[in-house]
Structure 1
């Protein structure tokens, strides 16, 4: 089964926006109530066996079962009788809200941190219609259960032989912009993309956003820093307004709209760069960066602005869509190793040129790292037996022995795409 997500902009009228916001707040209340039950049950099991706290204690019977997803879902019809406003929201939307909480709880149990938190006003920004009997998209409208038909900007049609499985409604810019994420599914099976054609390695950085092993590079546009001056002005205006007033809300919307514009510009740049890479080579290798560690250093603002994790994720998606092989390699020591003779060449961040004292190979630091990424990627595909067709490195034979000869002096440098010494 092949599943994809398409995002479209929708344009509900004033009445529709009010109803969508009320649905979000109702889902937020259900989420918080279910989380409260979960936390109370856990807290009631924390006291000692032989004594209780002198201050307070949760009085929950010992035989009370854990508030699982199925138990809380089955309690929704009873809750609707006690709280009639829950009946205004589609029943499956409330069920998926409970499911969302328990997915977060199960993820917390696996990783050991990140306990689910209560959602404040405005923090719950989406809800899901999990299934549709018929296609809800008809021309330029989408029909949502209990909401009705809403105008949609169908900038690309649903592909043939695909069915709409679910629709997620998203709120952006403090509830002034609305989107739908349409999940489509087909029985078509897509095989994995094999290694084929010309291969390149890419290195990500801050001086240059991207440097390829063939010498090409892409400058890093500073999306946040270029708009930071205007954003600071908008935030200052919002801080001077009386909190909760209409002028304060308008100022907050302007700030949110600016953040949304910055994110859209960054994502557009990432997608266009990924497509340019796919036009350049049918096999791409990239570093498996520790993005969380990069966002904790001295250059964290620049790293967050560059959004390396988003770029790698979008590049992987674009490569899969266009039939380009994409793989990540170990990034350790790529800038400290000579790609020509594989000798260790230590250098600090201030040194922007690679000069190997062993073989004399000289090039830009980022290009040397990209060439090293390419070498490791080719080594991985050969060791895994994925070598199918000839690449730009002209290594026609398959096997680890042939790769060892290529790494040594068995094949001249000019035959493997490196400058002759």
Structure 2
């Protein structure tokens, strides 16, 4: 991909059905789906990311329900009729505080999700089946292996399937190979929550995110300590998504590797309902100033119906639209940003100042907490931004690699301790 022309960023939403949330697969109503997708398309968005619940689609290791796959295909077709491309998550694992794992991996059948040969064979067959069913549809973007499934691999999950970084690497490559076998040449990737970037010794690493798959996915949630530590109106909170996009580039082998902001939202009470539109505008403006951005996919399309119980409070109001499909202030502001970007988008200039990222080892990154909120790299990036710079990041192992720096347009390298002394 090196040397390819910059592409205009994509704008989309993670599709949360208004009727039954992701449980809608149990009572699939294509007319309701069509109405939801009409309201998404009306915002000017160009894609959705959808979530077939793994236990419902593959309730037994050797049973992938044909009717469920047909319903997924019908959803993809309905989206295409409305000008929307579709990215499909396979092994969600975790959504909005709930775990979704099939019974053949739990309790009496407890087996490691990442290393048990039978489980891995079943997962690969499932991903390959979904991809193959959609391969002929022009609006099918590709598969994401799963939604933040890295959270099952270690703390703070209450019942983790512990693995090593090497085992995580092998599992990811096996899963993505299955996606590629099912639908060659599509945008197949994997997605981790920010423990991969910020949590020391987490088995899914920045290296995995930036080196495996067709693009790097980042999920930006300011309830991770950013908004609490720095404040809702702070530079750090407004720039958190852009920071993750630029942090991802430190580990990429290809300077032109695309980065997909695959999840970002305005969580209450950290971002109040009255402040959501401002936060949306600030976040989008910041990430659009990042070279190599594949796109922005907002979490989420529609609110969660309050008749559904036991969600954390913040999950109910994250939608761009209400459960009645009315546009909320954040949705209106995102629609404005989309229109503005399409009418006047210009490729961002290279970010010429790079903060050095030293995590002890570029592959395992045992000291990656320096990158998280309160860490030296994080704070140096934000201080430079407040001073008017447009920083990026570079690994300590590459900080003197002139060819690498030149390929990324970096002309100045700064260490975090030097920024603190400014």
TM-score, structure 1 length as denominator? Answer: 0.28
Scaled by the length of structure 2, the TM-score of the pair is 0.28
